[in-house]
Structure 1
């Protein structure tokens, strides 16, 4: 039995019920001939072969990039809803899935501590979600810059270019912490500060509490990019950065990606605003939509138009199965934290292996020490380890590499020769709950 077989009867029964609903409107004209069915079967066979060229994202031996399959309830629900293909831009494009989207947004708002005066919606991903938040930032402070730390995702600088908005990069120290004094000294130029709760490089949780204090004193908006880390709010009392998560509700806007730790397929991000009044910046009209209901259409509070209603259906179903509680979705996040901490401890125990920093979340950075302590030799060894794991097949491992500016690396490890511009270290993302029970095996494969 394959891992998907137990779910197929559920999907088949659900499809049959939807077919009954379809037939109630009249004869289905979408049937295909035997020849067409055979052709589709051949295409599916060819597709299967091509898909086997992927890395094993499903397996705990893969701890490279932020990649993993969605939860079974998510892909099942997405597949079911996609047979209808609702569009959540306007209520007449998908009445049920639009309501589901509003419900999951309410749950996420409650999770971060926003009240009923907040506003939000799903997006096609974190990039668009951050674009929307920065669009609002520009509209509110049209003559001021957006600032983000040197460790922030590169999308912020790119989106500021799209928006023709000045971008200021805030320096960070060798621990990855933004320079608070730099923010104070440049406060008169800044309209919005982006604070990253879980950088995509090393999973660093930036000091939200301190930045909020500076921002309030200088009338600066704060946008939290919690695309990767947002759902860790559910278990924040167990994190070393716990004090910062308590202030999440004070941010003016927040981005969280359900397609990361929300267990969803790609095509599911979200943006939330503390004050619903920002909806006026999206105000527009359409000559052929928004007629079926006087209620707020999701397209009226979004820069995007067409969006898959199936994403809302999948996320809604997932939260019915794993609610936004510590014992629900939080239990899976706890496993990822346990895996990262366990792996970090094991690396510390291994001779010649070095932890780069203690993990804030579930991303671990580390390296193997060369006999000759030079950055150039370190880089060569990291590449060798990376390549070796990918070439061992089913008994191998999959990691990722991370470049650290040489001066930053030398602040932490000053006994290395500075003979390269960057230090290349190893990086592992433990975002699957299966990683918790696989750490010992992974370390053995890595260090043998």
Structure 2
């Protein structure tokens, strides 16, 4: 399979268009092109030592290729290399960032908001928890034991109290366990994971909102992976219900570089109440002379940020707006459909058993055996055999304490499973090929 190269034609035309907008004297820029060619070809050779992340047969980790329009727009912007910290360094790309953040806020049901792009979900979640700590400085941050580990680590960095709450066998936050912690009155923020990275499970936001009316805490939705699933029409009803009330949370994080077809790193944090801007106020020794408007550096903990990320996301939104029934949503629905089809195949095969029915596009399964330790060994062997068959999966450790009435012996703390993130729309068309290679790997 050849790598996509049509975007090179787009890039050439875009650079020529960009250059025509500057009426300046010629600048003599001489480089050693022969030496540069030698170096770049060596770099390309080194980059061959990669898994084929761009191909549907890579069905393991959360790695999704950027859309050609995003790649071309990002590279075109690099000829300017804007810095979206302040308007002085991003006269064009800062307004583009504000526009795409407004698109994402609207997707979640917010017209009024405060937000910006970040270098990724970790930084975005850090800002959300930082604001939570400002509002409830003496209270705890609560997240499920299946939430991303970044929340516990961030809380430690910010010197905030953090606590985990148990999940059910589906990988969703356990409501009874959560309420027991809320009864103590020392919880300031509950992190609701809208799509865990392990099982793709969506926490019961609708039920957590009901608890909020009783116990008065903030809700932060970590939708870094699963935020775009709000657009889908092929979710099960209980998952739709969770996404339907996401506009009622206090803050949201989403990563366009996961499901949003963007290059790394492109995260986003959005707050429902624009008044949280007061926590960002700072005095700068620099004089920003370009605009009297609030610049992005005044509502961000990060300073220098790649304006190219905003340009790439803006171009992608122009081509494929993040709206229900649009091309972007339709492609994401194919990923969801592929996950359901793989689940059905796993369920009907005597060698496999799925851990949970997928809520999103992540499928996790084990290999049948007499006991969990042996089943884990089988999973490791299957993983290696699949790679020999040019099928690239990932491994996942599932706590055996959460297994629901298994018909095998539990003799280990974890069960090693196989896991697939079917993030590419092509995965639906390639599913039969993927399945054939799975069977050949037994």
Answer whether TM exceeds 0.5 for this pair. yes
Aligned to 1:432: 424
How many residue pairs align between the two structures?
436
Taking the aligned partners of 1:389 and 1:131, their CA distance within structure 2 comes to: 37
Q: Structure 1 unaligned runs (5+)?
A: none
Question: Partner of 2:20: helix, strand, or coil?
Answer: helix
- How far residue 2 of structure 1 moved from its aligned partner, in angstroms, is 4.6
- Contact 2:192–2:222 (CA under 8 A) maintained in structure 1: yes
- Cα RMSD (Å) of the superposition? 1.4
- How far residue 176 of structure 1 moved from its aligned partner, in angstroms, is 1.7
- Contact 1:126–1:270 (CA under 8 A) maintained in structure 2: yes
Aligned to 1:408: 402
Aligned to 1:82: 78
Aligned to 1:180: 175
1:295 corresponds, among 259, 284, 293, to 293
1:38 corresponds, among 18, 34, 38, to 34
- If the length of structure 1 is used for normalisation, what is the TM-score? 0.95
Taking the aligned partners of 2:9 and 2:166, their CA distance within structure 1 comes to: 54
2:155 corresponds, among 147, 153, 160, to 160
**1:240-319 alignment, distance < 5 Å:** 240=237, 241-319=239-317
Taking the aligned partners of 1:366 and 1:301, their CA distance within structure 2 comes to: 42
In the alignment, structure 1 residue 352 sits paired with structure 2 residue 346? no
Aligned to 1:218: 215
- If the length of structure 2 is used for normalisation, what is the TM-score? 0.96
- How far residue 349 of structure 1 moved from its aligned partner, in angstroms, is 2.3
In the alignment, structure 1 residue 20 sits paired with structure 2 residue 20? yes
- How far residue 165 of structure 1 moved from its aligned partner, in angstroms, is 0.4
1:170 corresponds, among 162, 165, 174, to 165
Taking the aligned partners of 1:190 and 1:310, their CA distance within structure 2 comes to: 39
Question: Partner of 1:365: helix, strand, or coil?
Answer: strand
Aligned to 2:331: 332
Question: Partner of 1:175: helix, strand, or coil?
Answer: coil
- How far residue 412 of structure 1 moved from its aligned partner, in angstroms, is 4.1
Aligned to 2:99: 103
Taking the aligned partners of 1:328 and 1:293, their CA distance within structure 2 comes to: 36
Question: Partner of 2:190: helix, strand, or coil?
Answer: strand
- Contact 1:144–1:189 (CA under 8 A) maintained in structure 2: yes
In the alignment, structure 1 residue 442 sits paired with structure 2 residue 434? yes
Taking the aligned partners of 1:216 and 1:176, their CA distance within structure 2 comes to: 24
- Contact 1:239–1:361 (CA under 8 A) maintained in structure 2: no
- Contact 1:151–1:172 (CA under 8 A) maintained in structure 2: yes
Question: Partner of 1:290: helix, strand, or coil?
Answer: coil
- How far residue 347 of structure 1 moved from its aligned partner, in angstroms, is 1.4
- How far residue 63 of structure 1 moved from its aligned partner, in angstroms, is 0.5
Q: Which stretches of structure 1, 4 residues or more, deviate above 6 A after TM superposition?
A: none
Taking the aligned partners of 1:348 and 1:405, their CA distance within structure 2 comes to: 20
